[in-house]
Structure 1
Amino acid sequence: MLKADAAQAVNLVYFTQLVNVVGSGAYARDIVAVVGGAQDTVWLTSVIPILTVVLSSPVSQAADFWGRKWFLVCLTATGCVGSIVVSRANSMPMAIAGFTVSGLSFGAQPLLHAVTSEVLPRTHRSYAQASVNVSAPMGAIFGLYVGGALTRNTRPENFRIYWYIAAAIYASSALIVALLYNPPPRQLQLELTSREKIQRLDWVGYFLLTSGLLLFCLGLSWSQNPYPWSNVHVLATFLIGVALTIGLVVYQWRFKHDGMFHHGLFRDRNFPLAVFCIFCEGISFFCANTYFAFGISMFHTPDPLQVGLHYSIAFYSYAFFAVVAGTIRAVIIVAFSALLIFNVLMATVTPTTSVANLWGYPVILGVGLGFCLTALMTAAQFSAPIEHIAVCSGLMIGVRSLGGSVGLAIYNAIFNSALSTNLAPKIAAAVLPLGLPETSLGPFISSLTANNATAIAQIPGVNNEIIHAGGAALLDAFSVAFRYVWVAAGAFALPAIIGKVLPTTDSCAIIGLGICLQHFLTAAFFIYNPTNEFNTHIDAPVETDTINLHDGVDELHESEQKI
């Protein structure tokens, strides 16, 4: 009973986190409609994976020294505070600040995967991860339906009610975890002094990771928004971020063997393969979370509830396939094949694509997500020593969010570049032959992009035919921008072709991402099924007085010998 209560309590936290993260992508345009600051929209979504990356490893390491419970409770409580800030936002900086505060709650995400696995027998490890991955899509579905119902019929200001609801769920989740999850103290909690615990944390690694990732993402977010690639704002921040990231790799490889990238985790080949694969999965998921709903609202329906219904299909599929995931290797191969197919299909979407197709494509996305997360986390945890399961989970979640952070920064740069390159020429080619004066072209493009019907009607020379032609050209330009993003996400791009259709800098971005993604399916073939690890041992039982990991290791070895 205690094991079930603990697992259910932490699963509720995952439900709550998905309400927040899906809302940040699906309702970003509603927030912009109320508070302004469209040029900074990407940060509403990006700040969450960035904070997940930055906090996952420190929290996971610290939880081994101070215990899991209060990190879960306190970090989840920050989600309540941040959601209230978002709900009261009257400017884009305030909204971003709110998501930054609520983003702190995602630092607890690796502990959710660790706790559900620790408190149940290892033979149920896949089901433990499946339970986590079922609660996540349920939170996403809840967010899509509630948020869509609140903001439909041109009521973007109701995003405030949505985040009030999120705040209440966050508060309830923190309280339930505080009441139901009461693990015994861990061995290191009792043996080490506070000074020794602080000294064991990887402070240099945390600094290099945080500063490198922030500068890398900031540089890419400024690309074509508003600075060109040659501008010092873009180049300086981007190159310094890359240099710090390289420094992190060298430091962890040569100088720090027990830090964020603990060398004990890499003795089994499944772990580095799982880390690489989950990085690629993060790239795909955050692309879908940001651009799928955006594309539906641009091309087919502005109704947020209808958009949410389309996107929710992916999460129903996600929940189903998370439960039925069985063996590890075959499931991972199928998962990444599905993600690749989904991205390829989305790259073919245009304003004339049948709506029926857009009900079917999310099913394929759900297959990839449901199979992938359950199997990869199970493979990684089985490959890790028992005493490092939290660090293992932290690294997996951190790397997944790193993929999302890097991917979003690159997607944003690609999208802005493609849109700025195609928008004005396509609209001009469509409306100038119809008689629109050249002096009216600039105001017409600005008003059309802002969807300001009142301003469009006041522009000299504008008529219904010109408005219709301009609107079609606008959608065509957005279609090109979306296509390049999905091509990048699916790695469905040959360098020779890309070099002819995009500026060199964007080509490099897509090629680099494409090379990475084209190898994830190959990596999945080398993951093996750890059948001997599925036994009745419980890594961290909640019924004992103290969790002694050394005894657990001995017991596990005895169990393996019997098998």
Structure 2
Amino acid sequence: MSLAQAQNIAASLGGSSESIWLSQVTAITVTVLGPPIAQAADYWGRKWFVVATTLLGFAGCMVVSRSISMGMAIGGEILAALGYSSQALLNAIASEILPRRLRPAAQGGLGLTSGIGAASSLLFGFHMVSVSPDGWRVFFYVTAALILISALLFAFLYNPPPRPLQHSLTTTEKLNHLDWTAYIFLLLGIVLFSMALTWSDNPYPWNNSHVAVTFAIGVTFLVALAIHQIFFKKDGLCHHELFKKDRNCAIAFLCVFVEGLSFFASNNFYPSEMAILFESDTFRVGCRASITFFAAIVSSISVSIYSSLTKDIRNPVVFAYLSIVIYTVLMATATLDSSQATFAYPVFLGLGLGIVVSNLTTAAQLSAPPALIAIVSGLLAGTRSLGGSIALPIFNSIFNGNFSKHVGSNIASAVIPLGLSSNVLPRIIAALSSGDQDALAVIPGVTPEIIAAGIHGLKSTYLISYRYVWVAAGAFSFMAAIASCFLINPKDLNMHVDAPLEDEKEHEQDAIGSQERSKA
């Protein structure tokens, strides 16, 4: 939850212009490492990848909690992000150990627990910050402890039989089966592409070489990755068998990309908008943000029951994206008098998020061959994080551009009619924008009425800037709503289990032995 705590960490450590990297490194790490880890898990098994990365997540949270600089916090978040990089394996495990008929319930259950965890962490984290400016450190201590407990529980309680490829291939053969060329292209492409987008207007303009050159090189590697996967490596990272059965995989990748974009946009901009425009109490900001996840809990439970009983995957996804569109429209049309209304708007977002990930994961997994269930889960997680890594810098650029464009004129139109000299206008704009009360107090001619009018002009600027972010997010979500209409309801939601926890051969031998003993 560094995304939600980024502003609090920046307020404590400084380096607010770098705080976006607390979120970006998570999205980049999951995008780059999620698919390779999922592919490797088919050869070495799921268990120890989950345990090892989760322990790294524990170490990362400890580093963040002890940070004395923004650079150290970002380094700790990179380690913590390694813990998220195997999360797709949990989606794969939950599906493959249960009958296919129960896959919607399995994915809905994961959504339920994720929603509980997200809501609890938001409330606890913002409460600790409201108690003390350094309360985010306690939040990361507690998070580290919970991650350590989960790693130990998984290590001791999850003991599946070895997968077929674990026995049939040597270590050298396993290493040769991995798509190393794709990993390198993916790493270089995503890192450089995301760095360029993050640097744009923060602090470099688009025509600066830091942005332009980095962007061009990143795109080149991503194009090379696409060419490699389409024409030269048909059984690699993007295995072609994923797309042969039907169109569900392709649509799921597109839609989950947009879901990641919408989620990261809301998780970053909704709390900051509430804090700037409507709330002075940090805990109340957390309460507002947590509504999304409480709504997601309800929709996760509901869709798991509905889709398991009806075998309908498509219609809930369409409904989910329309719900997200409604949320963005409501946020885009909010005014400075919408404080109470914006408390309820996240309900629509949560209803959508609780459905989208679980049903898209189910659709993609059933579209893929059983042997590729981990790969498709990893690609979905990576694609979702890619949406987030692209969303944050793009939306930040939209926000910053509109804020810079309107802040001067809005404050001027508010304070000049009240008699403030235009000579001191730059000083009051700078003081209001930075929240420097001491600087405001020494500006000649400034009165409480002028300060109040200037604050109103500043808030109007923030409102306009946020509005364009929500419009952009809504446009993407509407496209996903259209795409989701073309999903195909799977026909093989039956009682077959792809990877039972018991060894099937041993189970069959025990059954035969039991029958022979009964005959005797």
Counterpart residue number, 2:317: 332
Counterpart residue number, 2:428: 444
Deviation for aligned residue 1:433: 4.1
Paired with 1:363 and 1:534, the residues of 2 have a C-alpha distance of: 30
Counterpart residue number, 2:343: 359
CA contact (8 A) 2:126 2:285 kept: yes
CA contact (8 A) 1:26 1:294 kept: no
| Corresponding residue to 2:97 among 119, 132, 136 | 119
Equivalent residue pairs, number: 500
| Corresponding residue to 1:219 among 186, 193, 196 | 196
> Does residue 246 in structure 1 map to residue 223 in structure 2?
yes
1:185 match: secondary structure: coil
Counterpart residue number, 2:408: 424
1:226 match: secondary structure: coil
Paired with 2:198 and 2:35, the residues of 1 have a C-alpha distance of: 25
Q: Report the more deviating stretch, 386-395 or 215-224.
A: 215-224
CA contact (8 A) 1:336 1:368 kept: yes
| Corresponding residue to 2:287 among 309, 322, 325 | 309
Paired with 2:484 and 2:389, the residues of 1 have a C-alpha distance of: 22
Paired with 1:440 and 1:222, the residues of 2 have a C-alpha distance of: 32
The equivalences for 1:91-106 within 5 A come to: 91-106=69-84
CA contact (8 A) 1:187 1:546 kept: no
1:152 match: secondary structure: helix
Provide structure 2 residue ranges, at least 5 long, that are not aligned to the other structure.
509-520
CA contact (8 A) 1:220 1:234 kept: yes
2:85 match: secondary structure: helix
> Does residue 521 in structure 1 map to residue 498 in structure 2?
no
| Corresponding residue to 2:297 among 314, 319, 325 | 319
1:27 match: secondary structure: helix
| Corresponding residue to 2:458 among 474, 484, 500 | 474
1:74 match: secondary structure: helix
Paired with 1:547 and 1:540, the residues of 2 have a C-alpha distance of: 14
Per-residue CA deviations over 1:348-400 (Å, capped at 9, x if unaligned) read 12322141x12321111111111111111111111110100000101111111
Deviation for aligned residue 1:234: 1.7
Per-residue CA deviations over 1:79-105 (Å, capped at 9, x if unaligned) read 111111111112111111111110111
What do you get for the CA RMSD once the two structures are aligned? 1.8
Per-residue CA deviations over 1:499-542 (Å, capped at 9, x if unaligned) read xxxxxxxxxxxxxxx5xx543222211111113x1111111111
| Corresponding residue to 2:329 among 344, 347, 366 | 344
CA contact (8 A) 1:318 1:366 kept: yes
The equivalences for 1:392-411 within 5 A come to: 392-411=376-395
Read off the aligned partner of 2:224 and give its amino acid letter: G
TM-score (norm 2): 0.93
The equivalences for 1:120-139 within 5 A come to: 120-139=98-117
Paired with 2:505 and 2:137, the residues of 1 have a C-alpha distance of: 44
Paired with 2:287 and 2:276, the residues of 1 have a C-alpha distance of: 15
Deviation for aligned residue 1:466: 2.2
| Corresponding residue to 1:60 among 38, 57, 66 | 38
CA contact (8 A) 2:115 2:297 kept: yes
Deviation for aligned residue 1:227: 1.9
The equivalences for 1:278-293 within 5 A come to: 278-293=256-271
CA contact (8 A) 1:42 1:412 kept: no
CA contact (8 A) 1:220 1:412 kept: no
Paired with 1:28 and 1:546, the residues of 2 have a C-alpha distance of: 51
Counterpart residue number, 1:150: 128
The equivalences for 1:449-464 within 5 A come to: 449-464=433-448
Paired with 2:322 and 2:269, the residues of 1 have a C-alpha distance of: 20
1:228 match: secondary structure: coil
CA contact (8 A) 1:273 1:524 kept: yes
2:201 match: secondary structure: coil
The change in CA–CA distance for 1:223 and 1:436 in structure 2 (over 3 A counts) is farther
1:310 match: secondary structure: helix
Deviation for aligned residue 1:328: 0.3
Counterpart residue number, 2:233: 256
| Percent identical | 43
Deviation for aligned residue 1:460: 3.6
Per-residue CA deviations over 1:39-81 (Å, capped at 9, x if unaligned) read 1121111221111111111100110011100100010111111
Deviation for aligned residue 1:547: 11
CA contact (8 A) 2:322 2:478 kept: no
Paired with 1:369 and 1:38, the residues of 2 have a C-alpha distance of: 29
Q: Report the more deviating stretch, 432-441 or 198-207.
A: 432-441
Deviation for aligned residue 1:546: 7.7
Paired with 2:61 and 2:481, the residues of 1 have a C-alpha distance of: 38
Paired with 2:44 and 2:506, the residues of 1 have a C-alpha distance of: 13
The structure having more radius of gyration, on CA atoms, is 2
> Does residue 536 in structure 1 map to residue 520 in structure 2?
no
Paired with 1:306 and 1:546, the residues of 2 have a C-alpha distance of: 56
Deviation for aligned residue 1:210: 1.8
The change in CA–CA distance for 1:173 and 1:337 in structure 2 (over 3 A counts) is same
Paired with 2:505 and 2:85, the residues of 1 have a C-alpha distance of: 25
TM-score (norm 1): 0.86
The equivalences for 1:261-280 within 5 A come to: 261-267=238-244, 268-280=246-258
Counterpart residue number, 2:512: none
> Does residue 73 in structure 1 map to residue 51 in structure 2?
yes
Deviation for aligned residue 1:201: 1.2
Q: Report the more deviating stretch, 255-264 or 219-228.
A: 219-228
Counterpart residue number, 2:5: 27
1:259 match: secondary structure: coil
Deviation for aligned residue 1:445: 2.8
Deviation for aligned residue 1:444: 3.0
Counterpart residue number, 1:167: 144
CA contact (8 A) 2:28 2:389 kept: yes
